[in-house]
């Protein structure tokens, strides 16, 4: 019988506290031999290591990566000798780089700023100026890594984060190989972290995998999908498999359909060079939404480890079946001028840097099914778009209506379908929608909701996704990183849709600030359903 009291929480420990408690240092972190290593309530602390960020001057690094590193240090989850090396095309000295990181941390970190934490982190910062074809710069990087091994005790353990446009992935990994940075000495490790997109179709994804795996072993490569680092996404597994009440009805016998939505209320901003020619489906559906689908529909894994999770997710992706008529069951759209948050905004074709004749989709919606025993006949509707009515990402599992109702039709005319809605962002949590009697003498039933919100149920705020994922990289924990087989299976789903759209005319237009083109509403209306309006 457990003696743990519910009100007690597990506090994160520092390296000094870990050593005092009798914990021993290992390449992937600190382990207490007197505790059950499988107890995931215990804090996981990275062992001696360093992080090299290519493209360190970009928005992703400034707004997400560097603040996440500070937040990890502030929570006591990085070793005292942790080192951060930036590589970019800027003529900076180490102190200039430290100032840039300081500014980014002050502006974007989640946890309070503490000078003593910052000073310890800043001592391990280095900056390497150069381009990706600059052999001299990579030699300087190698020298810095060797120097940090001695002065900071990193143990030769380094993760190389490629926060660069995909076209530079091959060049960077080849340079790492050429200058001996990819190969670790015995007892240490080297890892590569790659941001999406992982190719732009199946063929390019396979080519990229081949290039990367020529330099790094598959278990050394971590493909970042930041959505998988969000607490709510991980909570899908807890919701389904740690509770008895949901899993028995999580199947075709009870579920009518599933809607997965990622809506953004912003336009493309300054990303015209990246976005045009890529589009919403390649940018979001191929990775984020298909991963959310896999977590929602997968069978229970035999363990919460990378191999078991990947096995079950891959089964889902391989069972995907597209409709025969893609013209009826898929929609692509493009936002036109409209009103967003009380402000007049331009359409996609008027955005700076966009070709006026562009057919790139800023909205995409698809219908698909899973050809397996659990989900046969249950449609999954996926949609994503920019300049929509509000920013929201959610998974809605909508249940079939009750087969028999003893109530008069007038009593239930306001009753909808039961649903479990998992809110990924913002306001992370879950809503259960069900019918309840309205107070009064007559029998009237109306939809009500029960809400669970992370912010109200837990005293500790959820870590940013990049905090969790960067720590997982340093620990060598690949649970939340898509495998190459998953990436290729996702492209096999999306490629036929993209090929079909390429034969069509211009995308459907929708006004900014709405929920997308009318064609998307018609797509569901043909099935007797409608999109949720979160």
| Residues with catalytic roles | 288
**CA atoms within 13 Å, Cβ hemisphere of 143:** 8
Q: From its phi and psi, is residue 168 left (phi > 0), alpha (psi between -120 and 50) or beta?
A: alpha
CA-CA-CA-CA torsion sign (165, 169, 170, 173): positive
CA-CA-CA-CA torsion sign (512, 514, 517, 518): negative
Report the distance separating Cα 224 and Cα 482, nearest Å. Answer: 8
Q: From its phi and psi, is residue 516 left (phi > 0), alpha (psi between -120 and 50) or beta?
A: left
**CA atoms within 13 Å, Cβ hemisphere of 263:** 24
Report the distance separating Cα 140 and Cα 349, nearest Å. Answer: 44
Burial 283-316 (b: 16+ CB within 10 A, else e): bbbbbbbbbbbbbbbbeebeeeebeebbbbbbbb
Pairing mode, strands 255-263 and 392-399: antiparallel
Between the two ends of the chain, the Cα-to-Cα distance in Å is: 43
Please write down the HEC assignment for all residues of 70-101: HHHHHCCCCCCCCEEEEEECCCCCHHHHHHHH
SS3 526: coil
**Residue 16, number of CB atoms within 10 A of its CB:** 10
Helices H / strands E in the chain, number of each? 18, 20
SS3 123: coil
Please, which residues bridge with residue 333 across strands?
Answer: 363, 508
SS3 321: strand
Report the distance separating Cα 346 and Cα 18, nearest Å. Answer: 55
**Which helix (H) or strand (E) covers residue 192, if one does?**
strand 190-195
**Residue 480, number of CB atoms within 10 A of its CB:** 22
Report the distance separating Cα 126 and Cα 114, nearest Å. Answer: 21
DSSP state of 229: G
Report the distance separating Cα 307 and Cα 505, nearest Å. Answer: 42
The answer to whether 296 and 430 have CB atoms below 8 angstroms apart is no
Q: Nearest Cα to 336, choosing from 532, 531, 507?
A: 507
> What phi, psi does 340 have (nearest 5°)?
-135, 115
């Amino acid at each position: 019988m457990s003696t743990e009291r519910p009100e007690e929480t597990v506090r994160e420990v520092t390296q000094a506290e870990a050593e005092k408690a009798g914990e021993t240092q290992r390449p992937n972190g600190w382990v207490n031999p007197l505790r059950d290593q499988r107890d995931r309530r215990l804090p996981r602390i990275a062992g001696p290591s360093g992080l090299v960020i290519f493209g360190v001057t970009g928005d992703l690094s400034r707004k997400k990566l560097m603040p996440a590193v500070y937040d990890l240090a502030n929570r006591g989850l990085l070793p005292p000798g942790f080192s951060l090396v930036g590589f970019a095309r800027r003529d900076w000295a180490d102190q200039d780089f430290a100032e840039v990181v300081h500014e980014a941390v002050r502006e974007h970190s989640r946890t309070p700023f503490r000078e003593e934490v910052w000073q310890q982190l800043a001592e391990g910062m280095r900056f390497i100026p150069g381009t990706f074809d600059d052999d001299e710069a990579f030699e300087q990087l190698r020298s810095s890594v060797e120097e940090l091994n001695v002065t900071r005790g990193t143990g030769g353990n380094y993760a190389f984060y490629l926060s660069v446009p995909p076209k530079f992935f091959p060049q960077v990994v080849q340079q790492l190989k050429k200058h001996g940075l990819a190969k670790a000495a015995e007892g240490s490790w080297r890892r590569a972290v790659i941001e999406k997109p992982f190719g732009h179709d199946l063929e390019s994804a396979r080519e990229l995998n081949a290039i990367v795996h020529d330099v790094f072993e598959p278990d050394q490569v971590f493909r970042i999908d930041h959505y998988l680092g969000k607490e709510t996404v991980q909570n899908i597994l807890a919701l389904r498999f740690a509770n008895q009440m949901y899993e028995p009805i999580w199947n075709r016998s009870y579920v009518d359909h599933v809607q997965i939505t990622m809506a953004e209320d912003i336009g493309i901003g300054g990303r015209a060079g990246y976005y045009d020619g890529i589009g919403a489906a390649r940018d979001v559906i191929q990775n984020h939404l298909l991963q959310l689908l896999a977590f929602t529909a997968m069978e229970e894994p035999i363990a919460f480890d990378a191999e078991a999770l990947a096995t079950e997710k891959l089964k889902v992706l391989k069972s995907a079946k597209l409709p025969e008529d893609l013209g009826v069951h898929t929609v692509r759209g493009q936002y036109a001028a409209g009103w967003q948050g009380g402000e007049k905004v331009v359409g996609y074709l008027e955005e700076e840097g966009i070709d006026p004749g562009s057919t790139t989709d800023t909205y995409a919606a698809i219908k698909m099914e899973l050809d397996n025993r659990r989900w046969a006949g249950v449609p999954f509707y996926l949609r994503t778009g920019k300049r929509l009515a509000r920013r929201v990402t959610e998974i809605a599992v909508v249940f079939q209506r009750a087969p028999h109702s003893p109530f008069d039709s007038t009593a239930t005319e306001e009753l909808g379908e039961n649903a479990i809605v998992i809110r990924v962002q913002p306001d992370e949590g879950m809503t259960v929608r069900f019918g309840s009697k309205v107070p009064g003498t007559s029998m009237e039933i109306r939809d009500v909701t029960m809400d669970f919100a992370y912010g109200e149920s837990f005293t500790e705020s959820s870590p940013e996704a990049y905090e969790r994922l960067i720590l997982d990289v340093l620990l060598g924990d690949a649970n939340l990183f898509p495998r190459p087989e998953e990436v290729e299976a996702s492209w096999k789903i999306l490629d036929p849709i993209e090929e079909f759209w390429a034969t069509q005319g211009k995308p459907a237009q929708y006004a900014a600030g709405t929920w997308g083109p009318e064609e998307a509403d018609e797509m569901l209306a043909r099935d007797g359903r409608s999109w949720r309006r979160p």
